Each structure stands twice: as C-alpha cells, then as structure tokens.
Structure 1
Amino acid sequence: MKTYTGRQYIKENFPDVLFDESRFTSGIPQKICFPQTAEDIREIAREAFASGTPLSIIGAQTGITGGGVPVDNSIAVCFSEMNAIAHVDMTDINAPVVYCQPGATLSQINGFLAEPSSYSCKTGQASILEPGLWIYPPDPTEATAQIGGTAATNASGARSYHFGPTRNHIASLSLVFADGDFSVVKRGFHIESTDFFSFLTESGKKHIVKRPAYQSPDIKNAAGYYSKKNMDLVDLFIGSEGTLALFAEIGIKLTKSPVFLGGMSFFPGRSMAFDFASFLRTESGVAAIEYFDESAIKFVRAKIKNGDIADIPNFPGNCAVYWEYIETSLMPFESRMDLWEKELLSKGSSFDATWSGFDKRELGFLKKFRHAVPELVNSAVAANKKNCPSVRKISTDTALPQENFSGTMEDYIALVEKNKLEYVIFGHLGDFHLHCNLLPKNNDELRRALLVYDDIMDLTIKNNGTISAEHGIGKIKTQHLCGMYGNEVMAEMKRIKSDFDPKWLLNRGNLFERPPDGIL
C-alpha cells in the first residue's frame, strides 16, 4: 500500500485530492493512503481509531457537494488503486452479481460487461457472461465515477426513472468499520424486525441497531440516512456518504440489456415540454425522461456560435425532452407512434421536430449531447474562475412532489431572473428533479447566487421537496439538511452515526456540520 505524509508534500503532489467538481475545499490531510485490499483499509482504520484521527474517504472527486473533500489533518483514503472487478456470482442466472472493489469506475464496469473476457476475474466466471447481454442499470452522467462513490450517495441517472437509483441494484456490501472491524452485509439477510437490526462482525461482536424512527420521503431522495419500515440493513449504508463505514467490496446486481430506442423532441416552450413529459409517464415502455430548458438550449446555441462545440444540428425548438423507450416484441415502438405523434402535435412539436435515436449510432449521439451540456457548463465555470478565482458553480439538486413541481420551478426561475444571474436548467424531468445551475462571474454575483440558492432550498422545503435527490449532502448542504428534517430527525441520524462511529472519525463534516460536544 502506498502512503505519503506531510501536508505540504500532499498539497504540492496531490492537489486534485483536495477538492471535487464543486471546487470546495476543507483542508489538507496529514497523510494519504492508497489501499489495494480490504486488509489495507482495516489497517488504516485501526491506526486512525487508535489515534483519534479523522478519516477522509476519497473517490473520483466527480461530486459537487464536497463529500469527498478531506478535512484538515485527517488521513485521506484514496480508492483509485483499489479498482478490481473481483468475481461474478451466477447463483441466480437471471440476475448475476458482479463483485467490484470500490474504486472500479462505471466506465470500467460497462467495459467489462461489453467484453467480459477482456478482464481477469478471480473465479474465471467472467466467461459465463455473454458479451453485451447484461447491463448495470444506474447510469449517472459521470462515467468516471467510482462504484463506491455512487453507492455512498445512492447516485442515479437518466434511466433511474425506470430502473430506480443505485440502491435498487446493490446486492452486497463488504464493510470496514471505524475501529477496523469487518462484516459482509448481503441483501435479504438483515431485514429490520420490530424496529431493530442485528448482525455479527468478523471479531464476533454483535451489533444491535435501532432503525431511525422517521420515514424517508417517497419522492426521489438522497438526503440523509435512508429509513423505511421493514427495510434492509444494506439500505442504511447506501447513501450514508461514508459516515458509517468504508466499502471494501460491492456486489452489483445485473439486468438483461433491453433494446433501447430514443429521441429528443423539441417544443416552443417549457409548459408544452412539461405536458409531454406528463404523457410519457403514462407509457409503460418509457425508460428515461430528461429535460433541457430554454436556458440550456440558449446556452448551447451561444457555445456553437463561439465555436466551443461542433457537429450539432439546428435546434427545431426552444427546449427539449430527451426520452428513451424499451422496445419489446409485445410492445414495439411502431405500435405507439401514432399516439405519440398526436401528443407531440398537440403540444407544438412532432416527430419532424425530434432528433431520432432509433439505432445505436443515433442513440449514441443523443447521449453524447446529453452529457455535453453539463460539461459545457463546467467549462464555463472554469473560464469564469480564471477571471475571478473565488467563483464556483452553484447547482441545485432538488426534487419535488408532482403536485408542487411546475409552480415551484416557476418560482425558482423568477427568483434567479430577479437577481440577474446566468443560469442553465436541465435534468431528470421524469422524477420531477431538475438541476438549476447558477454561473456567477464575479464575487458580487457569487454572493447573490448563494443567497438565491438558500431561498431555493427554503422554497423546496416549503413545498415538501428534497434538497438532494441524487448528489447527497456532503459538507456544503449540512445546514439545509436540518431545515428539511428538523431537530428530532437530525438527533436520530446522529444516534445512528454514533452507533457505528462513536468517535465520529469517518468522513467528518459530511451530513453534520460538526461532531457532538465532547467528541473533539
């Protein structure tokens, strides 16, 4: 295991470890470790526990909440060298499980599933997987994200509308606790009974944990510890943002790859696009419903004019809905086309105003465009930082109940425009979950953007929404987590944290601004 010590040495030689895509920083670790095995992680945890040193867990730094940003004088655990696809379990031939180390990236996993024989697995069972037959359904935008990070935040993507978020596809977690103890928790083996979980660790210690008394929101949500009646213990750790345990291995459940078709339909305005999305939600074959607002299309048009992006056809409308459809022999897309065309025409669009994705090449272009928009936003932020180093992107991750969605979105936009801020909106319309990206260019705009962000969080909470639907809370949104849940629920979350991490060493600063009195 490679280790490096000295804050100045780390600052000079590992600067990318110190911040994520948000460009938020929280300090410089005293030591940085690159484990390769579960035993390496346990060794690090035992050392930290004995000395009372916080552990900062570092993934690919694709997040935007500061969740993977180290705190000062911590020991940083970087998983970039712990990235093996270890073995395949074919016990259930209809749902194989692939066991990955936490540093394996989504791109690496997708490459493995496309050509399993090109990777060496310890069991040799990779050859059982037919190339291209299986997919890992969660498809977060960042293909460089590590599987450990996506499990830690319960990440989701476009197809999560149909397949659900990461937690729906995790079969097993190998856990290293704050004191270095170890346990493997498999889905279905530890279901909450009479409000309690119990499980054994490798040392023989029996953990009895009381389930949080609150219920997690029914809308798409990645804010705080998950809690539902009769829940599985696995789900408590998914989305816990590294605050309860470190992941040493993750078992991901595969799904047979369906036939995907897609399209991007353009509309004159926002309300017509939202109405078409309402129709799409009634269609059982729809796998994804994404949205690009008028602000996003205008932003991309400007980038095309400036030569920042090429090979984009003319936009036949002011905003767009990107959709994917799962075609089957019982429900071919052709059988739905007349109805879809009727719906499109009634909302100011048509198949003529739709970029098609009916073959692999066309669908690949649509997905490339979908990913290019947030990349262009990040490039614009980087350009702004050259002129004013203190600015950063301010991005929302809210989801809302259906009945409050349209009105609250209009309130968001009115608030941003009143403050004369550049903004770009896109996201997961199927789940009533859009990202409003604010792009401040100077310190005054940054100040206004932060105030607007706070107001948007207040509007979201007032309208029974969540402040984080997929990115997590990290270190940036902790004050709003308390606003969303209230003091009683926060006390329950802190109890869970203390049950697993009594010294509050793991990912200190995530979810909670500071440890309880007496910990430091």
Structure 2
Amino acid sequence: MEDTLIKELKKEHEDYLRDESRKIGKADSISFPKTEEEIISTLKKLKENKTPITIQGARTGIAGGAIPQGGHILNLMKINKITGMRYDKQTDTFYLKLQPGVLLTEIRKALKDKEFETSNWTKESLEALKLFKNSSPYFFSPDPTESTASIGGMAACNASGACSFKYGPTRNYIEALRVTLVNGDTLTLKRGEQNTLVRHFSLKTDNGELLEGNIPNYTMPEVKNASGYYTKENMDLLDLFISSEGTLGIITELEIKLLKSPAYIWGLTAFFSSEDKALKFVEKIRVESFPVAIEFFNNTALNLLRKEKENNKAFNKLLDMPTRFNTAIYIEYHGNNEGEIRNMIFNAGNIIKQCGGSEDDTWVATNPGAREQLHFFRHALPEAVNLLIDEKRKTNPNITKLGTDMAVPDSKLEEVMELYNESLKKGKLKYVIFGHIGNNHVHVNILPNNLDEYNRGKQLYSTWAEKVITMGGTISAEHGVGKLKINLLQQMFGKKSIEEMKTLKRLFDPENRLNMGNLFEW
C-alpha cells in the first residue's frame, strides 16, 4: 500500500472531526480512498495496530455518527462515481449503480439531465443507458431535507424525508450492496438472494469465509423507524446492513431502484388558526386523500421564520405570513394527468374547509417556480434553527442542537403533540416543532438560552422517549442513533436486546473497530 493513503491528521483536516450535530471528536489519521481496493489496503494496514476506524460520508448527519473517537477517519467522499445502469424489461424499471460518495444532488442532476460519465461502464450498462435516454423521466424518491447527503450515508442510516410518507425510506430502493468488512474481505448482497432462516443466517464472503449467526430477537415498532439493527423473521440480509450506521461493514457500491417521475407535481400549504384544527386536518387528509408528503409547522416555527425574513436577507424569498396564520401544513401531490391532480387539490380544499381552514389562507403551487417557493419555506426552518443555535454557541460552546426524531402510531398523534406542548410550556423553554407529521414524526427543536435550559431540555427528551416507547413508537425515525442517542436506544429495546446487537457486531467486527460508539457502548 502507498504510504500516501493514510495521512497524519493535521489542522487542514479539522473539519473532519465534526458533523452537523455540532459535536467535535478526535483522530490521529485520515484517508480519502478513491477505490474499493484502496479501502481494502487501508484496512489491512490499520489492522496491524488494531486501529479504530470512523467511516464518514458527507457528514450531514445530526446524531454524531461520523464523529471520530480517536484512531483513523476513513472518508468516502472521493469514491464517488456512478458506475453503471441496469434495466429490467419485465417491470420496466431502471436501476443505477453507484459508489457511496455520490451526493443526492448529483443523483438528481444526472437523472434530470440524463448525462453520465460512462468511460468505465459495461456493455450492459451502456445498452440500458440508451433505453433510459429514450424513456420518460425517472427519479430517486428518498427526499431528505439535506440534499448534499451522500448515498452511502443515506443507506447507513436508512434516510427518509417528506416524500417518504408515500414512497417509504431509502431501504425500499436499495437492490444490491457491496460491503467491505473490517478485515478487508468483501460481501456481495443482492435483494432476494440471501435470507435468514427464521432468525438464523449463514453468509459467505467473496473469499469463501462462512459467517453464521443470529439476528436480534426484538420486535421493531410498526412506525417509521431508523433505530438499531433491522431484524425480522426470514428477512433479506441486505436489510441488515441498511441502517447499521457503519458498525458492521463499509458500503463500497450500491444499486438503487428508480421510479417513473409523475407528470404533474403540485404543492399546497394550508394555514390554520389553531394547532388543533391543523392536527384534525392531518388525520383526515391522510386517509381521505392521496398526498405524497404532509409536513407540519407550529406557531413558534412560523414566528421564527417571520423574524428571519425581517432580519436576514437570506430569507427574503419567504412569502409574507399574516399573524392569523397560527399553524401550517404543507402537502404535495403527484399525478399523471392534470385532471387527476386537480381533483386531488379540490378534495384537499374541501377537507381544509371541513377542518376550519379557508381557501384565502392556502397557498397552491402548480408550476415549478411556485413549488420551489414552497420548498424554500419547508427547508428554511431547519436552517433558521441552525443559525440560532450557532449564535448561542458563541457564548456557550457546550450548547448543541436539541432536536427530537421520534415517531408514534397514527392513534397517538394528538397525545404526543399534547405531551410536547404541555411539558415545554411548563418548563418555560423556547422551541419550534416541525416535520413529517404524515408519519407522526415531528422534530421538536428546543432553543436553549443557557446551559441550565440545555440540560433541562436533554432531561425532557429522555422523559419523552420513555413515553413514546410506551405508545409503541421509536426514538429515531430517520436520523439514526449515532453516538448521541445510545441511552435512548437502550430505553427502547432494553439491555438484553443491546447485548444481542453486540453479539451480532462481534461476528462482523470482533474488536469493535468500526464506528466505535455508534448505537451502543462496548
């Protein structure tokens, strides 16, 4: 192996000690491999001293999963090629092969422009590309708010977003993986080819080594979930590595499934005079209509956006919001003809009226420009929260973003919202609530002014987690556990289940060197 692959960590690499959680870690060395072979060479070199390894993608995660706790940083952002395409004639479906460092923005652009760098593509891939260029448009449906996320990171935490209400999370669109294990051996996994027998599995590496073991025996909640190892009787082993947060192996290539793009995409933002009316609307719209996305913004969230629009030029694109707008619900519809999508919007309008809303207090976007304005509204809030927290950190550097990622069953939506609101008001804490309410998955962001409020906020999260778990919910619906929620994961599954996770990890990573500190303490 060339000595240049492993570099001593210097000042120029300090950004790689942090991710969007705003926490800062430590490391001794770093590498930026460009191929699977360079990853394997690096692993073999690091094995000599049993060096811990933190796997990184674009570092857009907010659970601290990419923060190193010493040892080596293996950053995958230079292994970033789209490597091929496949077409399934029976299902009229295209699949894209790509490396883990490819960004979501790059996937979207390539699919939109139908332009790819094909110098190393196989004959089969080139033939599929010819068909693709002559086909109707396709898209990749997982829609996380952070569009600069890497596809490897999205798979590692089973990322999802607004449109996951209809289309589901990243897991649903991964058809194959290549995974490099900590010892340098590799696995080739294809959906439908390697399954467990009840909960036992037998898996051969590409070098012929046999790995046998059991997947954990806990039952996952029946809600949108990204907490711990995926486990289910007679499951596809491909799913074990999706959402494993880099603790079992390193994803070096993926094959993702594409969907046909809808002919029409229209958006609608309905404003209500109270949160109660907005929640009734959510409960009604998701069973009586066919939205792709249902997003929520509470009153304090709208107030924060009003303030940013007034004081920050970066938020000038926000439309004016009268003070009578108390709570907002954003809905998106996809349709294949104009009549179909007009009926969807008309139906939504009737439901808005039934729930106490008004056409005068509703924004509708029927063209890309207007829809982009609504998308800007949806994405502006997380940015506003980050700016506010960064400002607080100038005087209190120990303050970090406090944002929940919990989800509950449909029947518990009003109960969990009442829990959040009442306990926050009782604690006299500033906060905003927004997110994917179609899946009963909202982000409560506490905005602490000092360390006392920060610590009280953290205690509240622990209390909420306990109650959400008893409701049949999850402590993480989309961002993963990382290093920041390991106590919550133990609350959710219990010590016995955590030990089962550790036993599984030992099979693939006996010395706990990959992404040490993610999911659980060793």
Same fold (TM over 0.5): yes
Conserved? CA contact 1:285–1:327, under 8 Å: no
Conserved? CA contact 1:344–1:350, under 8 Å: yes
SS of 2:115's partner is helix
Alignment pair present for 1:128 and 2:125: no
Equivalents in 1 of 2:288, 2:136: separation in Å?
A: 26
Q: 1:118 to 1:501 in 2, by over 3 A?
A: closer
SS of 1:81's partner is coil
Equivalence for 1:313: 319
Equivalent AA in structure 2 for residue 23 of structure 1: R
Equivalents in 2 of 1:415, 1:109: separation in Å?
A: 42
Identity of aligned residues (%): 37
Pairing 1:361-376 to 2, within 5 Å after superposition: 361-376=369-384
Equivalence for 1:103: 101
Residue among 241, 249, 266 paired with 1:245: 249
Displacement, 1:446?
Answer: 1.8
Mean Cα displacement is larger for which, 364-373 or 105-114?
364-373
Equivalence for 1:345: 353
SS of 1:390's partner is coil
Conserved? CA contact 1:85–1:98, under 8 Å: yes
Q: 1:326 to 1:180 in 2, by over 3 A?
A: same
Residue among 52, 57, 60 paired with 1:59: 57
Alignment pair present for 1:91 and 2:95: no
Displacement, 1:254?
Answer: 0.5
Equivalents in 1 of 2:499, 2:234: separation in Å?
A: 21
Displacement, 1:212?
Answer: 2.1
Pairing 1:411-450 to 2, within 5 Å after superposition: 411-450=419-458
Segments of 5+ residues of structure 2 without an aligned counterpart are: none
Equivalence for 1:263: 268
Equivalence for 1:465: 473
Equivalents in 2 of 1:266, 1:119: separation in Å?
A: 45
Q: 1:163 to 1:134 in 2, by over 3 A?
A: same
Displacement, 1:51?
Answer: 2.1
Displacement, 1:184?
Answer: 0.9
Moved over 4 A (4+): none
Equivalents in 1 of 2:55, 2:449: separation in Å?
A: 31
Which digits, 9 at most, give the CA deviation of each residue in 1:20-55, with x for residues without a partner?
A: 1111123x2111000111111111222233321111
Equivalence for 1:223: 227
Conserved? CA contact 1:112–1:119, under 8 Å: no
Equivalents in 2 of 1:457, 1:91: separation in Å?
A: 43
Equivalents in 1 of 2:490, 2:13: separation in Å?
A: 33
Which digits, 9 at most, give the CA deviation of each residue in 1:158-207, with x for residues without a partner?
A: 00000000100001110000111011101111122243222321211122
Mean Cα displacement is larger for which, 447-456 or 424-433?
447-456
SS of 2:85's partner is strand
Displacement, 1:127?
Answer: 4.2
Alignment pair present for 1:148 and 2:146: no
Mean Cα displacement is larger for which, 223-232 or 167-176?
223-232
Displacement, 1:209?
Answer: 2.9
Equivalences, count: 509
Conserved? CA contact 1:86–1:121, under 8 Å: no
Equivalent AA in structure 1 for residue 433 of structure 2: I
Equivalent AA in structure 2 for residue 86 of structure 1: T
Equivalents in 2 of 1:127, 1:440: separation in Å?
A: 54
Displacement, 1:94?
Answer: 2.0
Equivalents in 1 of 2:345, 2:426: separation in Å?
A: 41
Equivalent AA in structure 1 for residue 8 of structure 2: G
Segments of 5+ residues of structure 1 without an aligned counterpart are: 516-520
Which digits, 9 at most, give the CA deviation of each residue in 1:379-418, with x for residues without a partner?
A: 1111111232221111100001122221122111222222
RMSD: 1.8
Equivalence for 2:204: 200
Residue among 186, 211, 218 paired with 1:214: 218
Equivalent AA in structure 2 for residue 318 of structure 1: N
Q: 1:181 to 1:4 in 2, by over 3 A?
A: closer
Equivalence for 1:80: 77
